[in-house]
Structure 1
């Protein structure tokens, strides 16, 4: 079971925080966090359900992390292990995560795949997403995996889709010519793009496109 104590900075003041594996006692709060992060018109049936969360802690507790700030649950991040073939990169979120149920978790795989990262809006200025991502890097190293991988939706692509391909848009973000809230965050926390996945998820802002972003285990060649 993962547990790490740390301080996060809130307007220059250190606040005690902890990142740990979530448990069944956290399920109601985790679902409430999803509701805050994805309010209507986002369909409530797409928030986490208890069966999905139960699978996360049963199949891969090390990949089921949450963060507490001042004793209050403020966010979560979930992953599973898969056997990834870089030569066949195109896939959907549903395919790689079993629709969030992670019944395809493969302990013998080589890649930690990100299922979800979610932080309550009122805590986002504390950079909790960054700390959760760094903790997942710990999990990659602990399990001696080759990489962390996941799809980052191209959240601003709909503004440029008439003028450029998803690949060109991603290149513009990497060159600093455009800012994309999701991809720019991933770049700040050490992720690097390895390709584009089309029809990744049903999302108008990204035109269903995601950048596949990885972090490679520096202890593996």
Structure 2
């Protein structure tokens, strides 16, 4: 088990801020739950925030996939993943199925893919680009563990504005072509993720009409497909 830690400067325009990206531990649980509370305020149901059982599983079953950002002693953002075996020929799945509802009891130590369960940043820190830094850090985990890919389903929260005028397939094509911007899909594209498949009924989400775009980052040191 290797714990992750690096220090760097992040920027809000020209203002630099020192940050630490590291593995989270049991001592961070209160701060991690606070990230969820601030990232998903009511009417988002509080029972869907992280609970201590889920967080305990994250640090026990796959600590390499449990990272946070600390700024001036405060937890500002977090990302969580697990290892799964993914077959691109059978790509359809739900978030609940792939992540065990966030409990990751289905974590496979021999899985070929790092699957993203969640990424969250407190609103006060969102201009610092922490989400992209966390995603880049997970790419480093993929390389370190010699996995094939990082994978995850990206919500399409901008789709509800266009659902009456175009199918989801057209919406994502417009986002890929730069004709439209989606808060999540565009962010993931800027992080280097590439589309795999549009998935229906991925997660109950009115804004996305329950769609998600499955997107990956492939390990550049592993050339085989699959």
Distance across 2 between alignment mates of 1:13 and 1:35: 27
Q: Which residue of 2 aligns with 1:205?
A: 207
Superposed, 1:79-158 pairs within 5 Å as: 79-158=81-160
Match of 1:56 among 55, 58, 70: 58
Distance across 1 between alignment mates of 2:181 and 2:18: 31
Match of 1:66 among 62, 65, 68: 68
Distance across 1 between alignment mates of 2:26 and 2:181: 38
Query: Does the residue aligned with 1:135 lie in a helix, a strand or coil?
Result: helix
Query: Does the residue aligned with 1:17 lie in a helix, a strand or coil?
Result: strand
TM norm structure 1: 0.98
Q: Give 1:199 shift.
A: 0.5
Query: Does the residue aligned with 1:181 lie in a helix, a strand or coil?
Result: coil
- Residues 1:78 and 2:41 aligned together: no
TM norm structure 2: 0.96
Q: Which residue of 2 aligns with 1:177?
A: 179
Q: Give 1:70 shift.
A: 2.1
Per-residue CA deviations over 1:69-91 (Å, capped at 9, x if unaligned) read 12211000000000001001111
Q: Give 1:107 shift.
A: 1.1
Q: Which residue of 2 aligns with 1:14?
A: 16
Q: Give 1:208 shift.
A: 0.3
- Residues 1:160 and 2:162 aligned together: yes
How many positions carry a matched residue from both structures? 221
Given that 1:80 and 1:97 are in contact with CA atoms closer than 8 Å, whether structure 2 keeps it comes out as yes
Deviant stretches of 4+, over 3 Å: none
Q: Give 1:165 shift.
A: 1.8
Q: Which residue of 1 aligns with 2:27?
A: 25
Q: C-alpha root-mean-square deviation of aligned residues, in Å?
A: 0.7
Per-residue CA deviations over 1:131-152 (Å, capped at 9, x if unaligned) read 0000000000001000000000
Q: Give 1:167 shift.
A: 1.5
Given that 1:17 and 1:71 are in contact with CA atoms closer than 8 Å, whether structure 2 keeps it comes out as no
Distance across 1 between alignment mates of 2:140 and 2:215: 17
Query: Does the residue aligned with 2:67 lie in a helix, a strand or coil?
Result: strand
